[in-house]
Amino acid sequence: MSEPDAAKRQETAVTSDAIDSPLLEIDGLRKEFGGVVAVDGATFSVAEGSLTGLIGPNGAGKSTTFNCITGIHEPTGGRVTFDGQDITGLAPYTLANRGLVRTFQIARELSDMTVLENVMLAPGGQVGESVVRSVTPGLRGDVIRDEADVRDRAWETLEFFEIDHLAHENAGNLSGGQRKLLEMARVLMTDPEMILLDEPLAGVNPTLEEKLLERIHELRREQGLTFLLVEHDMDVIMNNCEHIIVMHQGSVLAEGDAETITSDERVLEAYLGGDV
């Protein structure tokens, strides 16, 4: 990542509970599928530079909320604001260009392309994504220069996640854990401001889990990235997220830090009582 951007972000990194500079705001979000109401007036905020957790029993509406934020579904109602701008219902590609990206619960690696190709795909504004520039003899020089930069960044990113030895491997041949790392590497290459992680640790072994969390914290510290994390592993959430949002039956039940949440009776009841 470029040095000046990283330094600037570090200044605004937040480590306290107060949501005084929210990067992402969800207001009264609602999503209906036919007659089923999956998200019913969800309202919460995510502070800039934070690692926020989103939890809730099965069917609480977490994935649907994610999909509504990231443009996969169009919300039936409510508003999503990112960096002060209304992004409700915008297409996924627009959001990525504004710095909001996501990973997928079931890792969607582009299996017929190599790991390196997967990662080099991600950065925005690549000069070579124009047909004319790719073909015209004079202009292709710019493409080649830009590609070289992208390639170098790609190698760095792969090394950061320790999957550089798999660079020329077809992504389809990776193990489950390696694919998760690839997902993270890929979204990181888009130079985002906020990453939504959809169950990034599902099916990941403890060593890898630790490494991944370490990387996430490092990215927060060094570059001021904001993370919103959906996870089922309570320990991970409690130990890592400074702010936790609990969803239940489509809306927000409670929010606060780990202590507040674990001592909230409604939360306990939701998990024990309403478990699917």
Partner 1 sequence: MSAVDSVRDRLDALPDVGLVVGFIASIWAVMLVLAIAVGGANWANLAVGFIGSVTVLIGGYAILALALNLQWGYTGLFNIGIAGFMAVGAYTTAVLTAPTDPAAGAVPGLGLPLWVGLIGGMAMAAIIGGLAALPALRLKADYLAIVTVAFSEIIRLVVNWDGLAEFSLFGAPVGTGGATGISFKSANDVAAGLVNGVGQPLVTAADGIGVSGPNLANLTYGVILLLVVAASYWVLTRITNSPFGRVLKAIREDETVTQSLGKDTRRFKIKTFMIGCALMGLAGVLFRGQAGYISPQQFRPTITFYVFAALIIGGSGSNTGSIIGAATFSGLLFYLPARLGENISLGGTRAPGNIIDAVGGLASLDPLPLLAYIISNVSTLRFVLIGVVLIYIIQNQPEGLLGHRNEPATSVSLDRPQSRSGGEADE
Binding site for partner 1 (CB under 8 A): 70-72, 91-93, 96-97, 101-102, 104, 108, 110-114, 116-117, 120-122, 124, 126-131, 134-135, 140, 143-144, 146-148, 150-152, 155-156, 159-160, 162, 164, 167-168, 170, 186-187, 190
Closer to partner 1 at the Cβ: 70 or 88? 70
Short-list 96, 86, 105, CA closest to 202: 105
Closer to partner 1 at the Cβ: 7 or 268? 7
Closer to partner 1 at the Cβ: 143 or 261? 143
Q: How far is the CB of 207 from partner 1 (least distance, A)?
A: 16
Handedness of CA 194, 197, 200, 201 (dihedral sign): positive
What is the C-alpha to C-alpha distance for residues 240 and 226, in angstroms, rounded to an integer? 13
Q: How far is the CB of 201 from partner 1 (least distance, A)?
A: 20
Q: How far is the CB of 80 from partner 1 (least distance, A)?
A: 15
Closer to partner 1 at the Cβ: 17 or 164? 164
Q: How far is the CB of 139 from partner 1 (least distance, A)?
A: 11
Instruction: Output phi, psi for 262, to 5 deg.
Output: -70, -20
Closer to partner 1 at the Cβ: 76 or 190? 190
Closer to partner 1 at the Cβ: 167 or 258? 167
Q: How far is the CB of 272 from partner 1 (least distance, A)?
A: 35
Q: How far is the CB of 229 from partner 1 (least distance, A)?
A: 17
Query: Residue with structure tokens 């959430």?
Result: 237
